[in-house]
Amino acid sequence: MSDPNPYKSEPEYEWGPGQQAETPGYGYPQSPAYQPTLPEGVPVPQQYPPVAQGGGPVLVLGDITVVGDQILTPAGAMPLKGAVWNAMDMSRTDEKISTTGIVLACVFVVFCGLGLLFLLMKEQKTSGFVQVTVSSGGKYHSAMIPAMRPDTIHWVMGQLNYARSLSM
One digit per residue, the tens of pLDDT, for the chain of length 168 reads 566 666 656 656 555 555 555 555 555 445 555 555 556 666 655 544 445 555 656 888 888 999 888 999 988 899 999 999 999 999 999 999 999 988 888 888 877 777 888 888 999 999 999 999 999 988 999 999 999 888 899 999 999 999 998 888
Position 48 scores a pLDDT of 46
Which pLDDT does position 4 carry in this prediction?
62
Distance CA 77, CA 89 (A): 25
* pTM assigned to the model: 0.58
Spatial CB neighbours of 108, under 8 Å, sequence gap ≥ 6: 114, 115, 118
Q: Are 147 and 91 in contact (CB under 8 A)?
A: yes
d(Cα 64, Cα 130) in Å, to the nearest integer? 13
Distance CA 114, CA 167 (A): 58
Whole-number Å distance between alpha carbons of 121 and 156:
29
pLDDT at position 92: 92
